[in-house]
């Protein structure tokens, strides 16, 4: 191409083996369980605790309504 100065090499992603995927399943289920517990505990906090954290009831409602598999850390 005219004016092209370089190129980009794309490395193919290695295939994930079935064994690797199966080892991740228990970890993923545990993480989802933890997320559900954390969101329920957050929803149960009183207004004073929320104020200390700098959160509003609307913030908590939004977080508590997220599905359990929606992991902000993508673990």
Q: Is residue 12 part of a domain?
A: no
For 31, list phi and psi in degrees, rounded to 5.
-60, -45
Per the structure, the count of domains in the chain is 1
Q: Is residue 52 part of a domain?
A: yes
Contact 32, 69 (CB under 8 A): yes
Tell me if 43 is assigned to some domain.
yes
Please count the CA atoms within 13 angstroms of the CA of 31 that sit on its side-chain side. 12
- What pTM value is reported for the model? 0.64
Does any domain span residue 72?
Answer: no
- Segments forming the whole domain that contains residue 39: 25-64
Q: From CA 55, how far away is CA 49, in angstroms rounded? A: 9
Whether 58 is in a domain gets the answer: yes
Asked if residue 39 lies in contact with residue 64, where contact means CB atoms within 8 angstroms, the answer is: yes
pLDDT tier, 9 (very low <50, low <70, confident <90, very high otherwise):
confident
Q: Does 9 map to a domain?
A: no
Query: Is the confidence at residue 1, as pLDDT, over 70?
Result: no
Mean per-residue pLDDT for 10-31? Answer: 83
């Amino acid at each position: 191409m005219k004016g092209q100065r370089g190129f980009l090499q794309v490395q193919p992603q290695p295939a994930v083996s079935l064994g690797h995927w199966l080892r991740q399943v228990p970890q993923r289920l545990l993480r989802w369980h933890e997320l559900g517990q954390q969101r329920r505990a957050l929803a149960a906090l009183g207004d004073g605790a929320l104020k200390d954290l700098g959160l509003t009831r609307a913030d908590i409602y939004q977080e508590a309504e997220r599905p359990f598999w929606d992991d902000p850390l993508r673990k």
